[in-house]
Amino acid sequence: MNDLRSEVPGLRRRIVFFSLAPVVIAVLLTALVLIRRYEASEAAASSAPSQSAPAATSTGAQQTDINQKLDGAERQVNDLNHRSAQAVNKSGVGVVFKPRVDLDGNTRLASDGKPLPIVNKHGDPLILEVLPNSPAGTAKIAAGDTVKAVNGKPTIGLSANQLANSIRGETGTRVILTIVSDGVTSNIELTRAPFGGMR
């Protein structure tokens, strides 16, 4: 038992690291794209003739546009960092949902403007992954099961974000998931665990 307790802090650090790694990569890729765009616009501006007044006005407008895009990107990065920090402070049960995409590759949105999760033919959100050693994994919830309700509230029509937020909560608190597995419906009470961005 003591060996398990000594491994928990290292495990938590690894889980937090791996849950934040995609956000950090997305931020770095966004910054790289913006830098490339800025460099390309600078190269185009320096190669354009500088004698003409309309070209100078156009370059000034391009610079303003670039500055606005950089400001927007900075706000997005700050928002991502804020949401990541919130996710780390929330605990979950270890179930993962994916957004629903139509045949054209567009993400389907719920009424809150956030992506809808993939659902079964009845409209219940489908669990695509259960994290190992999570409360859901320990309770034998499996990928392919559906979540019919969270604490008695139906999940039909919820966005993936609303669904995840209804499952997350303070560490050690309990949540009851109504799970349908192989046609059998059961209420499973789980204790939320501190696993970073887990749902």
Q: What percent of the chain has pLDDT over 70?
A: 62
The torsion angles phi and psi of 90, rounded to 5 degrees, stand at -100, 155
Q: Is the pLDDT of residue 121 over 60?
A: yes
Alpha helices in the chain (DSSP H): 2-47, 53-89, 135-138, 160-167
pLDDT tens digits along 4-39: 455 555 555 666 556 666 667 766 767 766 777 777
Structural element, H or E, at residue 150: strand 146-150
Looking at every residue in the chain, the average pLDDT score rounds to 75
- 85 three-state secondary structure: helix
pLDDT computed for residue 197 by the predictor: 40
> What angle is formed at CA 110 by the lines to CA 105 and CA 114, rounded to 5 degrees?
75
Amino acid, res. 196:
G
**Threshold 0.85, pTM exceeds:** no
CA distance 44 to 50: 11
